[in-house]
């Protein structure tokens, strides 16, 4: 039932209640308030959920690519009036039980969100966040640290070269190393010639040094004001309770500003344009077939719900899956390797953007791509789409609307971010959340066979605001950019007088002193170990048998969704089969079944489930990292009304899949290669850690070979061979061989749904699976032991570095595991954050114990340094052993680990986590025991495990860098000698 009117809960006197609306499909009540004095808007999503979420967003509309909004997001968190310490944000990370803390810079807003299950902790964080946003000190030294500065390469030597430093400067150098990021930046630059989206809101490294401190302050004063703020909260704390803190700690000190900050509409292009741009590519494979071809249209207003849903409908019809006409054309065209990562609808900006294209192409194919895309659009405008396909699209919208997520971001935060775009553009965010009425309206509209035809004409074919971007690789661009930067610095240095050079040296000295100062952190609020819950509840489950088939069921509040999985122990596999497991898992749900082609199955999936996937879960033994347990799973989710069809689809997927569609398999490998290539710059630290750990256990080695850097290289090599028909047939036969082995193993089934529906779901599923021949395989997957040191330097296309070092340690059941887990946070908090991020200029760095691999890892992320960072890893160990440490620092590290362990997931996610923990022999009692061991760790324990496991000579090292860094790598100390690997 939908109710509009005055919110039922009492608002604070400083706020006026505007309206409320129940959204039954989300189990929330949205309440809207307006601050009487400043006009600040507060949307409260009232829910029966103890994970409360807060977000304050400011409309930020940059007019250049200096990254002012991004740098301000960082700098605002570096100290405020009430909390005049150097780093309150990272300090609060250490003294909180938060389930989420961060800050985001989007293209037209900046947001500061957090979440916590503990009300004391929530209020602590709220006080700090409000002061940081509205009363930031914006110290010039923080601007220099977080934004940009120049320093002499040799500290204190005014005759040495000048270099740029700064956290955001290096972060964006790393971001712009990603072809996807560079591609999107160029698309926006040309698609939006006059509005704020023309500029890179994160900052272009070529323009970041243009930003002055005065300009930062001016932007802060104009944008960080309650009149320009949107407050959003979610959870079971009443709106009035939040509003009292808003008023007392911030809003009462401000008056309303007359200015209205908004994004102005873009001027429409009178005719389509084609543009050619370059991106930097530094690879040994050459430049052939590395061009990106992308077509992009600017559509209507995202804040207009009707226009938004029409654009989403058309985009889904065209691109939703491999049976969709445009997606199928892009996947199968010989013009390129794979569809562009840009494909789809971008609806986060004021005016939406629809993109499609290909990667792995050549510039000369631009005409042919345009012709192909226009032909597809004309066919849709002429023939429309089947009623079944349109209904499937609405089915996906409905399922997405109903699903309770929360396995990555907190569920409440995801709802808030879903609504934020409309609120930013002064539209109605409640309507965006309450999609059921709009979906019903669309369901009526699609009854008209001309409706989708008209959309294709109006939104795309007749839309002249279109560009085609030809993004060509250039192996000289990176060196050109470096040369331009060097020339700029040389010119800057040549123009400096003695006083200005002295000022540069003084700034570096002052910044170092600020970074070394010890603040009085007692002024910051904190939670104590006594605030930690004594235990965490275990999800209830039932083990039962139906039709002689074993089921494990969890009755959970899933809001009308059903989650089903079919699980079998992984059988023995040879080396090639092990390496190809990810490709098999990807292909299984993408191929034809029985007499139906893969396009038929894609349409069946869209109409039946919200997703179907296969994966292999592997874990090392709980007491011995040299043993490996592995299980194969087929997983899906569906609306309750479709649970029978869901079971039948899963059955057919396993029992009837055919590996004879070799052309489809070839396309899937191509697409997988493209996705993996794009992952390097975004997950470089993870890949470096995987490489560093690869010699420590069988599972660590396999991770590196399947999904790590070695796996990416092997995938590229495999992809090149599959152009040969015999090689492709052999590979398809190998995938079939893996499948036959999996079919031979016994099966177990998992069902997660609302309690009252469990029996009916189990009965229907058992009836379906009773048709299958029971597997009786006994042999299980094993791997030989591995224990060796490794040292590797991987060369790839990146402007920044990713460094990792790993030491062999122990599994979770070992008595020392808890201390090693705490040691990671202790080293990050006490030493690595300052050394690697603040002083070294990397975007991030830290240390972590991975008990699943029995490895302790150091890492850095988007790092300008190599040798300095590796040395800092060693210095962190010395600091741990030699320095005097306070009990409070230990408590903060413990809080961080407990907060991570206790972080809630979605209802289905918590059930799955419990199921797989038990499947691998990790009971809830073992988890509780480990939690108690975490709480009992002492500083002496930290020193002891450091001495025992992080001793010199035990380390393995991996670095990801570019070819220009090889000379710098040659200067590494002898003990850091690394084997160069070409990615």
Among positive and negative, which fits the CA dihedral 958, 959, 962, 968?
negative
Total domains in the fold of the chain:
4
Helices (H), 557-661: 575-588, 598-608, 643-656
End-to-end CA distance of the chain: 57
Last residue of a domain, one of 212, 238, 262: 262
Mean pLDDT of the region 727-741: 97
Question: Torsions phi, psi of 550, nearest 5?
Answer: -80, 135
Whole-number Å distance between alpha carbons of 719 and 668: 10
- Considering the domain architecture, whether residues 743 and 827 belong to the same structural domain is answered as no
Can you list the positions of beta strands (E) in 128-245? 149-152, 162-165, 229-235
Task: Give 232-256 pLDDT, tens digit per residue.
Answer: 999 999 999 999 999 999 999 999 9
- Considering the domain architecture, whether residues 250 and 305 belong to the same structural domain is answered as no
Residue 776 predicted with pLDDT over 90: no
Q: Tell me, yes or no, whether 526 lies in a domain.
A: no
Residue 972 predicted with pLDDT over 70: no
Q: Tell me, yes or no, whether 76 lies in a domain.
A: yes
Phi/psi region, residue 224 (left: phi>0; alpha: psi -120 to 50; beta: rest), is beta
The DSSP symbol for 148 reads: -
Task: Give 103-132 pLDDT, tens digit per residue.
Answer: 999 999 999 999 999 999 999 999 999 999
Task: Give 843-879 pLDDT, tens digit per residue.
Answer: 999 999 999 999 999 999 999 999 999 999 999 999 9
Could you give the maximum distance between any two Cα atoms of the chain, in Å?
A: 87
- Considering the domain architecture, whether residues 823 and 762 belong to the same structural domain is answered as no
Nearby residues of 779 by Cβ (< 8 Å), 6 or more positions away: 571, 572
Contact 333, 372 (CB under 8 A): yes
Q: Tell me, yes or no, whether 268 lies in a domain.
A: no
- The fraction of the chain above a pLDDT of 70, given in percent, is 98
Between strands 229-235 and 344-346, the pairing is unpaired
- Considering the domain architecture, whether residues 465 and 593 belong to the same structural domain is answered as no
- Considering the domain architecture, whether residues 249 and 361 belong to the same structural domain is answered as no
Task: Give 368-394 pLDDT, tens digit per residue.
Answer: 999 999 999 999 999 999 999 999 999
Domain that holds residue 564: 542-769
Nearby residues of 754 by Cβ (< 8 Å), 6 or more positions away: 555, 556, 557, 558, 560, 640
- Considering the domain architecture, whether residues 423 and 549 belong to the same structural domain is answered as no
Residue 970 predicted with pLDDT over 70: no
CB atoms within 10 A of CB 285: 12
Interior angle at CA 218, CA 215 and CA 222, nearest 5: 140
Chain-wide mean pLDDT for the chain?
94
- The fraction of the chain above a pLDDT of 90, given in percent, is 87
Among positive and negative, which fits the CA dihedral 129, 133, 134, 140?
positive
Contact 453, 377 (CB under 8 A): no
Show the tokens assigned to 18: 């505007």
Q: Tell me, yes or no, whether 483 lies in a domain.
A: no
Contact 56, 130 (CB under 8 A): yes
Task: Give 902-947 pLDDT, tens digit per residue.
Answer: 999 999 999 999 999 999 999 999 999 999 999 999 999 999 999 9
Residue 670 predicted with pLDDT over 50: yes
Nearby residues of 635 by Cβ (< 8 Å), 6 or more positions away: 563, 564, 565, 612, 613, 614, 615
Whole-number Å distance between alpha carbons of 267 and 466: 12
Mean pLDDT of the region 523-527: 93
DSSP string, 579-592: HHHHHHHHHHTTS-
Contact 354, 297 (CB under 8 A): yes
Question: Torsions phi, psi of 916, nearest 5?
Answer: -70, -35
Looking at residue 963, its pLDDT comes to 83
Looking at residue 2, its pLDDT comes to 37
Question: Torsions phi, psi of 358, nearest 5?
Answer: -135, 160
898 pLDDT band (50/70/90 cuts)?
very high
Contact 480, 281 (CB under 8 A): no
Mean pLDDT of the region 10-39: 94
Mean pLDDT of the region 408-424: 94
* Buried-state track 53-84, b at ≥16 Cβ within 10 A, e below 16: bbbbbbbbbbebbbbbbbbbbbbbbbbbeebe
Residue 740 predicted with pLDDT over 80: yes
Q: What share of the chain is helix, strand, coil (3-state, %, to 5)?
A: 45, 20, 35
Task: Give 334-352 pLDDT, tens digit per residue.
Answer: 999 999 999 999 999 999 9
Looking at residue 978, its pLDDT comes to 85
Nearby residues of 130 by Cβ (< 8 Å), 6 or more positions away: 56, 245, 246, 249, 250
Looking at residue 199, its pLDDT comes to 97
- Considering the domain architecture, whether residues 558 and 665 belong to the same structural domain is answered as yes
Whole-number Å distance between alpha carbons of 427 and 423: 5
Contact 336, 359 (CB under 8 A): yes
Between strands 802-808 and 979-982, the pairing is unpaired
- Considering the domain architecture, whether residues 240 and 335 belong to the same structural domain is answered as no
Mean pLDDT of the region 723-747: 96
Contact 52, 122 (CB under 8 A): yes
Residue 95 predicted with pLDDT over 70: yes
Q: Tell me, yes or no, whether 222 lies in a domain.
A: yes
- Considering the domain architecture, whether residues 881 and 964 belong to the same structural domain is answered as yes
435 pLDDT band (50/70/90 cuts)?
confident
Looking at residue 3, its pLDDT comes to 38
- Considering the domain architecture, whether residues 627 and 561 belong to the same structural domain is answered as yes
285 pLDDT band (50/70/90 cuts)?
low
Task: Give 136-163 pLDDT, tens digit per residue.
Answer: 999 999 999 999 999 999 998 999 999 9
CATH number of the domain enclosing 45: 3.30.830.10
Mean pLDDT of the region 458-475: 97
Between strands 291-301 and 162-165, the pairing is unpaired
Residue 1 predicted with pLDDT over 70: no
Q: What is the CA radius of gyration of the chain?
A: 28
Contact 712, 680 (CB under 8 A): yes
Last residue of a domain, one of 454, 474, 494: 474
Q: Tell me, yes or no, whether 459 lies in a domain.
A: yes
CA atoms within 13 A on the CB side of 708: 25
Q: Which residue has the tokens 């009232």?
A: 46
* Predicted TM-score of the model (pTM): 0.93
276-290, 536-550, 621-635, range with the lowest pLDDT: 276-290
8 pLDDT band (50/70/90 cuts)?
low
Whole-number Å distance between alpha carbons of 327 and 619: 36
Looking at residue 7, its pLDDT comes to 54
4 pLDDT band (50/70/90 cuts)?
very low
Among positive and negative, which fits the CA dihedral 407, 411, 413, 418?
positive
Whole-number Å distance between alpha carbons of 836 and 782: 39
Last residue of a domain, one of 220, 241, 262: 262
- Considering the domain architecture, whether residues 255 and 279 belong to the same structural domain is answered as no
- Considering the domain architecture, whether residues 707 and 813 belong to the same structural domain is answered as no
Looking at residue 969, its pLDDT comes to 65
284 pLDDT band (50/70/90 cuts)?
low
Looking at residue 964, its pLDDT comes to 78
783 pLDDT band (50/70/90 cuts)?
very high
Q: Tell me, yes or no, whether 755 lies in a domain.
A: yes
Whole-number Å distance between alpha carbons of 404 and 752: 13
> If you count DSSP H runs as helices and E runs as strands, how many of each does the chain have, helices first?
34, 28
Q: Which residue has the tokens 């590290």?
A: 893
Q: Tell me, yes or no, whether 657 lies in a domain.
A: yes
């Amino acid at each position: 039932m939908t109710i509009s009117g005055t919110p039922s809960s009492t608002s604070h006197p400083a706020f006026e209640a505007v309206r409320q609306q129940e959204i039954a499909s989300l189990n929330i009540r949205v309440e809207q308030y307006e601050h009487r004095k400043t006009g600040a808007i507060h949307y409260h999503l009232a829910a029966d959920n103890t994970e409360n979420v807060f977000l304050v967003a400011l409309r930020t509309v940059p007019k250049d690519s200096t990254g002012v909004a991004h740098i301000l997001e960082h700098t605002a968190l570096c100290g405020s009036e009430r909390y005049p310490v150097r780093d309150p944000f990272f300090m609060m990370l250490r003294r909180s039980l938060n389930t989420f803390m961060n800050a985001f810079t989007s293209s037209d807003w900046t947001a500061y969100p957090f979440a916590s299950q503990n009300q004391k902790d929530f209020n602590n964080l709220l006080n700090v966040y409000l002061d940081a946003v509205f009363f930031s000190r914006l110290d010039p030294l923080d601007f220099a640290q977080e934004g940009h500065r120049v320093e002499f390469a040799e500290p204190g030597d005014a005759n040495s070269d000048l270099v740029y430093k700064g956290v955001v400067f290096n972060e964006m150098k790393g971001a712009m190393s990603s072809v996807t990021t560079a591609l999107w930046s160029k698309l926006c630059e040309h698609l939006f010639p006059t509005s704020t989206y023309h500029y890179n809101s994160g900052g272009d490294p070529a323009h970041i040094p243009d930003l002055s401190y005065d300009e930062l302050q001016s932007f802060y004063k104009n944008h960080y004001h309650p009149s320009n703020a949107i407050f959003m909260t979610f959870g079971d704390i009443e709106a009035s309770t939040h509003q009292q803190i808003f008023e007392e700690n911030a809003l009462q000190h401000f008056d309303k500003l007359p200015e209205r900050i908004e994004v102005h509409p873009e001027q429409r292009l009178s005719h389509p344009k084609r543009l050619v741009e370059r991106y930097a590519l530094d690879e040994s494979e050459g430049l052939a077939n590395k061009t990106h071809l992308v077509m992009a249209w600017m559509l209507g207003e995202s804040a207009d719900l009707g226009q938004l849903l029409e654009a989403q409908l058309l985009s889904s019809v065209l691109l939703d899956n491999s049976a969709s006409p445009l997606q199928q054309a892009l996947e199968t065209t010989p013009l390129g390797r794979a569809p562009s990562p840009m494909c789809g609808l971008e609806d986060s900006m004021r005016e939406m953007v629809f993109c499609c294209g290909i990667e792995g192409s050549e510039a000369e194919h631009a005409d042919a791509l345009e012709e192909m895309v226009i032909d597809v659009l004309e066919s849709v405008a002429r023939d429309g789409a089947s009623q079944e396909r349109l209904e499937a699209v609405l089915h996906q919208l409905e399922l997405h609307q109903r699903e309770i997520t929360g396995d990555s971001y907190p569920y409440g935060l995801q709802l808030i971010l879903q609504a934020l775009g409309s609120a930013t553009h002064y539209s109605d965010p409640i309507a965006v959340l309450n999609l059921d009425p709009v979906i019903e309206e669309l369901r009526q509209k699609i009854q008209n066979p001309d409706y989708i035809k008209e959309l294709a004409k109006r939104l795309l074919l007749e839309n002249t605001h279109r560009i085609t971007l030809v993004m060509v690789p250039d192996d000289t661009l990176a060196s050109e950019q470096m040369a331009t930067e060097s020339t700029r610095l040389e010119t800057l240095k040549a123009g400096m007088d003695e006083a200005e050079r002295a000022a540069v040296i003084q700034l570096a000295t002052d910044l170092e002193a600020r970074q070394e100062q010890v603040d009085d952190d007692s002024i910051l609020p904190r939670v104590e170990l006594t605030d930690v819950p004594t235990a965490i509840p275990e999800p209830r489950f039932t083990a039962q048998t139906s039709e002689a088939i074993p089921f494990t069921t969890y009755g959970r509040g899933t809001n009308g969704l059903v989650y089903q999985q079919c699980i079998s122990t992984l059988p023995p596999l040879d080396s090639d089969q092990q390496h190809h497991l990810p490709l098999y898992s990807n292909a299984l749900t993408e191929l034809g079944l029985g007499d139906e082609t893969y396009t038929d199955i894609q349409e069946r999936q869209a109409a039946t489930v919200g997703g179907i996937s296969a994966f292999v879960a592997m874990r090392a033994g709980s007491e011995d990292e040299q043993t490996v347990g592995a299980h194969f799973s087929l997983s899906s989710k569906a609306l309750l009304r479709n649970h029978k069809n869901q079971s039948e689809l899963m059955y057919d997927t396993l029992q009837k899949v055919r590996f004879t569609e070799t052309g489809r398999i070839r396309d899937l490998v191509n697409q997988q290669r493209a996705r993996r290539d794009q992952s390097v710059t975004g997950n470089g630290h993870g890949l470096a850690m995987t490489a560093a750990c690869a010699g420590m256990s069988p599972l660590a080695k396999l991770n590196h070979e399947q999904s790590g850097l070695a796996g990416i290289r092997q995938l590229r090599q495999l992809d090149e061979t599959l152009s040969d028909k015999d090689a492709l047939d052999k590979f398809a036969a190998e995938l079939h061989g893996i499948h036959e082995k999996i079919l031979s193993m016994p099966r177990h089934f998992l069902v997660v749904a609302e309690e009252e529906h469990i029996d009916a779901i189990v009965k229907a599923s058992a009836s379906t699976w009773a048709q299958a021949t029971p597997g009786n395989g006994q042999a299980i997957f094993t791997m030989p032991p591995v224990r060796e040191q490794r040292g590797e330097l991987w060369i790839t296309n990146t402007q920044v570095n990713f460094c990792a070092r790993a030491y062999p340690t122990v599994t979770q059941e070992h008595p020392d595991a808890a201390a090693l887990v705490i040691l990671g946070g202790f080293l990050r908090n006490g030493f690595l954050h300052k050394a690697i991020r603040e002083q070294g200029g990397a975007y991030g760095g830290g240390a972590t114990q991975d008990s699943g691999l029995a490895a302790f890892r150091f890492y850095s992320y988007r790092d300008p340094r190599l040798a300095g960072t590796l040395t800092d890893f060693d210095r962190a160990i010395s600091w741990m052993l030699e320095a005097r440490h306070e009990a409070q620092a230990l408590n903060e590290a413990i809080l961080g680990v407990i907060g991570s362990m206790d972080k809630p997931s979605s209802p289905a996610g918590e059930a799955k986590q419990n199921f797989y923990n038990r499947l691998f022999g990790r009971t809830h009692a073992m988890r509780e025991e480990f939690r108690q061991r975490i709480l009992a760790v002492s500083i002496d324990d930290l020193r002891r495990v450091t001495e025992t496991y992080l001793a010199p000579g035990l380390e393995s090292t991996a670095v990801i860098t570019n070819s220009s860094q090889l000379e710098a790598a040659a200067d590494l100390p002898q003990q850091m000698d690394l084997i160069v690997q070409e990615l």
